Amino acid sequence: MNGARIMVVDDEKIVGKMIKASFEQDGYTVETFSDANPALARLEEEKFAVVITDLKMKDIDGMQVLETIKAESPETKVIMITAFASMDAAIEALRKKVDDFFPKPIKIKDLKLCVKDLLSE
- Domain extents in the chain: 5-11+25-83+100-120
Q: Using alpha carbons, list the distances in angstroms from residue 22 to 5, 6, 51, 65, 115.
A: 14, 12, 15, 23, 12
User: Count of alpha carbons within 13 Å of 47, Cβ hemisphere only?
Assistant: 9
Q: How far is CA 117 from the centre of its chain?
A: 14
Could you read off the pLDDT of 17-53 as tens digits, one per residue? 999 999 999 999 999 999 999 999 999 999 999 999 9
Q: At what angle do helices 62-72 and 87-95 cross, to 10 degrees?
A: 10
* pTM of this structure: 0.94
pLDDT given for residue 63 in this prediction: 94
pLDDT given for residue 89 in this prediction: 85
CATH class of 5-11+25-83+100-120: alpha beta
Residue 57 CB neighbour total at 10 angstroms: 20
